[in-house]
Structure 1
Amino acid sequence: MATGSEADGVYFGLMSGTSMDGVDGVAVLFAQGKQPAVLGEAHVGFSTGLRDALFALQSPGDNELERAALAANALATRYAVCCHELQSMSGVSANKIRAIGVHGQTVRHRPEKGYTWQINNPALLAEMTRIDVIADFRSRDVAAGGQGAPLVPAFHSTIFGAKNETRVVCNLGGISNITILSASGTVHGFDCGPANALLDEWAQRHLKRPFDEGGHFAAQGQVDRSLLNVLLDEPFFEERPPKSTGRDLFNPAWLDAKLAGFETVSAADVQATLVALTALTLAREIERHASDCRAVYVCGGGARNPVLMRALQQALDETGVSGAPVLTTDALGVPPQQVEALAFAWLAMRCVAREAGNVAAVTGAAGERVLGAVYPR
């Protein structure tokens, strides 16, 4: 393995998150002492069949091992398509790419039981691309007693931190999480609760579309305060960090159980209330842990939902964090859709350099660890 500047070069980062709509990829040049330079980006969607297979694997079922293996093969094929698009956009040949950092698709996240599982076939991806692949970033942190998540705060600190100013970076993917970059230089972060996972589920049920584009469905409804209080009655929201979560908790069964007794609430009102749930749980955590923040910078798919962005701003204004604007990471020079994929390219670079990728204070691990498993080209 290389160390320090020997790890510089072009990396691909691939991220398919809990929304399961496809894979985002970036080609990025890392050079010591300089900000990462994005050379190209791509998005490759998942077929309905692959998306359904991934959703089905979120819950126990028959023949899981074979279904997971077949889904992993299909997933690796989509990753390879994304890599070929990145090569075309960046103009960098395969033999000039140091490595592909690929997250895989989380189907189980149970760090309290000592495991997290991101299905993937990195060996197949290496075979198809003829590029080194680095995968399985979370397992080492879990093995060291950590949550295995979130892993992006170390990266956020590198590119978004500022001296003498507290900033919050908020990822609105399937699950919401925040990174707190304090004025003193310390870094904290944790998952806060559901975001697009439940919003997309409800949109699929009632709009027959994978998500609520532009938040228009939610905008037609009103927040039902009684329902909101029931949704907020979840022990996870009161747990202290380090903490992480996923579809193991916030899934359709959880939502249906909470909706029992609220059958007369309109579908649009439920969507509006789910938006309020995401915004309020985030605002409360920011108030508890970063009330001095100067701004909140949003990335992930939720950054494209103006209704959710406005709800988060309103929730912050109603807490002790009034005056902190809600912006996207565009304001810091990185488009919201690039941040997560860029983070896994960075983690791959850290693995090549034999440098730690986690923040132990964030994940609860016994210490900093080099993350990732290498599959040579």
Structure 2
Amino acid sequence: MIKSNYRIVGVMSGTSLDGIDLVHVDFQFEDTWEFKINSAETVAYPKEWKERLKGLISLNTEELHQTNSSYTSYLASVINDFIKKNKIKDLDAVCSHGHTALHQPEKQLTLQIGNLPQLASLIENKVVCDFRLQDVLLGGQGAPLVPIGDTLLFSEFDYCINLGGFANISTNINEERIAYDICPVNIVMNHYVKSVGLDYDDNGKLASKGEVNVTLLEKLNRLSFYKELPPKSLGLEWVYDNVFPLINTNESNLNNILRTFVEHIAIKISESISSKPNSSVLITGGGAYNSFLIDRIKELSKNEIGIPSQEIIEFKEALIFGFLGVLKLRNEINCLQSVTGASKNHSSGYVFMP
């Protein structure tokens, strides 16, 4: 008999390298799914791990294998500390996204490190993980995966947008869930503020002091990715190949770079929600704290922009990856063909026992 209650730890590490998000949550299913967050925490990466993760793109196969093993051990220690600190018992599973090292779905390649079977042994708990690989092998983008959670946990919103390393969106169109990556966000802005010793632009203060470089903005807006139809997704490689070179050859002033990129983000997001004016939009992720960016989105769109509680802003993705694991344990669909472009709907992920 399939259970109706699950005690889960969801784990997520995003491309913006803010840290590892962990959430302890109870899921309950009666007629619909409900959830209760019991505890949540972001564990910042120590400097050495942040540098190692930043350099994943340049590693050869052997170096990547070694990093995968050591990152899995590090991730296990973070999860164990979280479980111990919050006195968590009777877990059904730890459901982990891992950290993206490689994502080239057009070549049927994707790798999230930290998803090795040894993770289950190190934390002495059942693990559900590696949610992207199966989708890519089925011809999908392997991303975004959060929309099944948007559908079943946040159905009261017309659009769900997460502003993390990248902005991604999900919505229903003709009774089908459609989702895709919109554009880069924190992965670009955080990269540039590091030149002045900051991790991020607090409330967009630096961006608000800059001026829009119209030439750069037009070039960013014309990038070919934006002409593609969903399903589509972005990766770090695309940013290095397409975005950084454009910025570096067209603007050198930090404030102007940030101001121009905020405008680029706001334009692309407002375009993405323009087909349903006056609809409700849930915005989560670290970018929700950038009040200057949020104001620009509000000014350029005709929608009701909603900013939820701090817990949902910061931990929605970890929450939903926990939920993906629950669906996998129930052998229910957690990956939508209409979202990723895979050959079929499927129940994705691997289950490892301690």
TM-score by length of 1: 0.88
Question: Any residues of structure 2 matched to 1:198-209 within 5 Å, and which?
Answer: 198-204=188-194, 206-209=195-198
* Counterpart in the other structure of 2:42: 43
Please point out which of 149, 171, 185 is paired with 1:180.
171
- Root-mean-square deviation (Å): 2.0
**Which amino acid in the other structure matches residue 159 of structure 1?**
L
* Counterpart in the other structure of 2:161: 170
* Counterpart in the other structure of 1:87: 83
Measured in 1, the distance between the counterparts of 2:66 and 2:49 equals 10
Measured in 2, the distance between the counterparts of 1:254 and 1:208 equals 25
Deviation at 1:367, TM superposition (A): 1.2
Please point out which of 267, 286, 302 is paired with 1:301.
286
Measured in 2, the distance between the counterparts of 1:189 and 1:371 equals 17
**Which amino acid in the other structure matches residue 266 of structure 1?**
N
Deviation at 1:256, TM superposition (A): 3.7
Deviation at 1:374, TM superposition (A): 1.2
Measured in 2, the distance between the counterparts of 1:361 and 1:25 equals 28
1:250-297 alpha-carbon deviations (Å, 9 max, x no partner): 13x53342135424x52101111111111111111222xx42451211
Measured in 2, the distance between the counterparts of 1:371 and 1:5 equals 19
Contact 2:176–2:338 (8 Å) recurs in 1 = no
* Counterpart in the other structure of 1:232: 221
**Which amino acid in the other structure matches residue 169 of structure 2?**
I
Alignment gaps of 5+ in structure 1: 317-321
Please point out which of 135, 144, 149 is paired with 2:143.
149
* Counterpart in the other structure of 1:291: 276
1:48-86 alpha-carbon deviations (Å, 9 max, x no partner): 11111111112x44xx23432333234334433442344
**Which amino acid in the other structure matches residue 169 of structure 1?**
C
* Counterpart in the other structure of 2:3: 5
Please point out which of 159, 169, 184 is paired with 1:194.
184
1:345-375 alpha-carbon deviations (Å, 9 max, x no partner): 0011011111110111111111111110111
Please point out which of 356, 363, 369 is paired with 2:340.
363
Contact 2:75–2:114 (8 Å) recurs in 1 = no
Measured in 2, the distance between the counterparts of 1:278 and 1:12 equals 32
Q: 1:153 to 1:127 in 2, by over 3 A?
A: same
**Which amino acid in the other structure matches residue 270 of structure 1?**
I
**Which amino acid in the other structure matches residue 18 of structure 1?**
T
% identical equivalent positions: 27
Alignment gaps of 5+ in structure 2: none
* Counterpart in the other structure of 1:242: 231
Measured in 1, the distance between the counterparts of 2:43 and 2:73 equals 11
Q: 1:342 to 1:256 in 2, by over 3 A?
A: closer
Contact 1:10–1:97 (8 Å) recurs in 2 = yes
Matched, 1:21 2:57: no
Deviation at 1:143, TM superposition (A): 1.5
Q: 1:121 to 1:295 in 2, by over 3 A?
A: closer
Contact 2:115–2:130 (8 Å) recurs in 1 = no
Measured in 2, the distance between the counterparts of 1:43 and 1:75 equals 17
Question: Any residues of structure 2 matched to 1:292-371 within 5 Å, and which?
Answer: 292=277, 294-316=279-301, 322=302, 324-330=303-309, 335-371=312-348
Deviating more after overlay: 116-125 vs 145-154: 116-125
Deviation at 1:240, TM superposition (A): 0.6
Measured in 2, the distance between the counterparts of 1:46 and 1:260 equals 27
Measured in 1, the distance between the counterparts of 2:185 and 2:249 equals 23
Q: 1:261 to 1:363 in 2, by over 3 A?
A: closer
Deviation at 1:123, TM superposition (A): 2.4
Please point out which of 252, 258, 262 is paired with 2:250.
262
Please point out which of 65, 72, 95 is paired with 2:68.
72
DSSP 3-state at the match of 2:93: strand
1:119-168 alpha-carbon deviations (Å, 9 max, x no partner): 12432321221001111101111121111111111111111113xxx611
Deviation at 1:90, TM superposition (A): 4.5
Contact 2:72–2:113 (8 Å) recurs in 1 = no
Contact 1:40–1:89 (8 Å) recurs in 2 = no
DSSP 3-state at the match of 2:63: helix
Q: 1:274 to 1:359 in 2, by over 3 A?
A: same
Measured in 1, the distance between the counterparts of 2:207 and 2:66 equals 36
TM-score by length of 2: 0.93
Measured in 1, the distance between the counterparts of 2:71 and 2:281 equals 33
Matched, 1:104 2:93: no
